[in-house]
Structures are given as structure tokens and as C-alpha cells.
């Protein structure tokens, strides 16, 4: 992984783009002042590592913009993309001694970072903030469970179809951006095919075969390697296998 120094700035809480359901949104005015005093902003370019698996846990962050990959490295050196983090999600975890996973910028990102010891002190000094942190981490766990359900019991091609269906119905809630200006929705994929394949638990070769198989079935058209036109959403859902009710109707995001 590409580890580089980060560009730091002061936090501007009043201009924060994070959704209203985030940790900070649940804080009182006094608690928000405490958060702002401890936080500093950091920007990372796509592909840069933010926190490394196995390192001593010294920082915790809240994602302001962009997408982060949660990555696990095995003892053999193989890597697996476990999921994605989106604005409002925590990077790292309070009260842990070392990072269990690596966090890598899937796109250019902007984060509010805290010294973990200072952040923990802030939580212990405010029951309301401690409660807000608990709710935020539970929300991330719920999204992880939704992602697990989205993939469970599906063939490789069904997983790819389910993923594209999810992207089409959750604009701004996945790694892909959605273009609705034409006759059919178009997805601009920001993850590499290798990372997407890892996220969907398959090889890059299998992902490519599934993608072309969905095109042959008339569900989509491959305009370019990272530009996918969804020509028939109904057909795409049909090819996604088990029903997606409860996973694609509600505004949840596919992350761990």
C-alpha cells in the first residue's frame, strides 16, 4: 500500500458536508466546541493509506468526503477489501490497542482526525457524546450486516447484478457516481476492477466474465471499463437472484 504524509488543515465544523445523522450532529453545542478543538482535517489522494493494520492505534477519524476501503491483509500477504466507508463513518475505533484493518483511500478523501487518547477522554467526559458514538458505531454495524445479506446466497453473477442494482437505487451511497442525464442511468465506477472483485468476493477475471454476461443478457451496456449504462433495471434485478426487498428500498449503504 502507498503510505504518504497527509495534508493537514484546521477543521471548519460549520461548513461540514457530513450528513445530519453523523456523530457530530448528535452533539450539544458545548460538546461540538470540544470536538472542534481536538480535530484537524487531513486530505489523502486515491490509493494512499490512512491507517495501517497492526499499527498501534493512535488516531481515530470521521470521514468528511470521499470513499475509504477497509482492507484486511492475511499472514500470506493477500489482501481482501472487506467493505467501504462513506461520509460520517468512523475510521479506526476508540478503546482498541491496534488497528485490526487497514484503511485506504478509494477516492480522494477529506477526514477529521483526532488523537485517540484525546477523543476517548472527550467521550468519557460526556455521556451524550459516548451515547452518540455508540449509535454511530451501531449504524456502521447495521450497514455491514446489510452488505453481508446483499452478498449471501448468490452466485458470482448475481452478486455483480445485486451490486449494480444497489448502486442505481442509492445515489451518493456507494463508491459509484450516478449519471441520470441520459435515457438510462450510467454508473461511473470509482473503484478499480480488482478492488470491486475483492469487495464482491471473486477474482478480477470472474468479475469481468460476470459483467459481460450481464451485458449479453441485456441488463447493461459497457460503455468503458469504469462506465456502465444500466439499460434494463428490471432485468438487472431479476438477474440478481434472491429478492432484494429490505436491502435496496431503504437508504442504507454497503460498508463494513
Q: Which residue from 35, 99, 112, 74 is spatially nearest to 198, judged by alpha carbons?
A: 74
Partners of 188 in beta bridges: 177, 227
Cell of 161: 447484478
Q: Of 6-20, 69-83, 193-207, 217-231, where does mean pLDDT reach its minimum?
A: 6-20
Residues 6+ apart with CB under 8 A from 149: 247
pLDDT in tens, 154-212: 999 999 999 998 888 776 667 788 898 889 999 999 888 898 998 899 999 999 999 99
The predicted structure's pLDDT at residue 21 = 59
pLDDT over threshold 90, residue 1: no
What domains appear along the chain, each with residue ranges and CATH number? 2-142 (2.60.120.10), 152-238 (1.10.10.10)
pLDDT in tens, 29-39: 788 888 888 98
Q: Can you count the helices (H) and strands (E) in the chain? A: 7, 14
Residue 203: strand, helix, or coil: coil
Rounded to two decimals, what is the model's pTM? Answer: 0.81
| Gap between the Cα atoms of 184 and 40, Å rounded | 41
Amino acid at each position: 500500500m502507498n503510505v504518504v504524509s497527509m495534508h493537514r488543515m484546521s477543521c471548519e465544523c460549520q461548513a461540514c458536508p457530513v450528513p445530519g445523522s453523523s456523530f457530530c450532529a448528535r452533539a450539544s453545542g458545548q460538546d461540538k466546541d470540544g470536538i472542534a478543538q481536538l480535530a484537524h482535517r487531513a486530505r489523502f489522494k486515491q490509493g494512499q493509506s490512512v491507517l495501517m493494520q497492526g499499527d498501534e492505534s493512535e488516531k481515530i477519524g470521521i470521514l468528511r468526503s470521499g470513499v475509504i476501503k477497509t482492507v484486511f491483509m492475511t499472514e500470506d500477504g493477500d489482501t481482501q477489501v472487506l467493505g467501504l466507508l462513506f461520509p460520517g463513518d468512523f475510521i479506526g475505533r476508540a478503546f482498541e490497542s491496534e488497528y485490526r484493518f487497514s484503511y485506504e483511500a478509494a477516492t480522494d478523501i477529506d477526514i477529521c482526525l483526532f488523537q485517540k487518547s484525546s477523543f476517548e477522554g472527550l467521550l468519557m467526559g460526556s455521556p451524550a457524546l459516548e451515547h452518540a458514538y455508540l449509535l454511530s458505531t451501531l449504524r456502521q454495524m447495521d450497514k455491514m450486516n446489510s452488505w453481508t445479506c446483499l452478498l449471501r446466497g448468490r452466485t458470482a453473477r448475481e452478486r455483480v447484478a445485486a451490486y449494480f442494482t444497489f448502486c442505481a437505487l442509492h445515489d451518493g451511497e456507494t463508491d459509484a457516481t450516478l449519471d441520470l442525464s441520459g435515457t438510462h442511468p450510467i454508473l461511473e465506477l470509482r473503484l478499480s476492477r480488482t478492488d470491486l472483485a475483492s469487495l464482491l468476493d471473486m477474482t478480477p477475471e470472474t468479475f469481468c466474465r460476470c459483467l459481460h454476461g450481464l451485458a449479453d443478457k441485456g441488463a447493461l451496456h459497457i460503455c468503458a471499463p469504469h462506465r456502465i449504462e444500466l439499460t434494463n433495471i428490471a432485468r438487472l434485478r431479476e438477474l440478481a437472484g434472491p429478492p432484494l426487498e429490505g436491502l435496496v428500498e431503504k437508504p442504507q449503504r454497503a460498508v463494513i
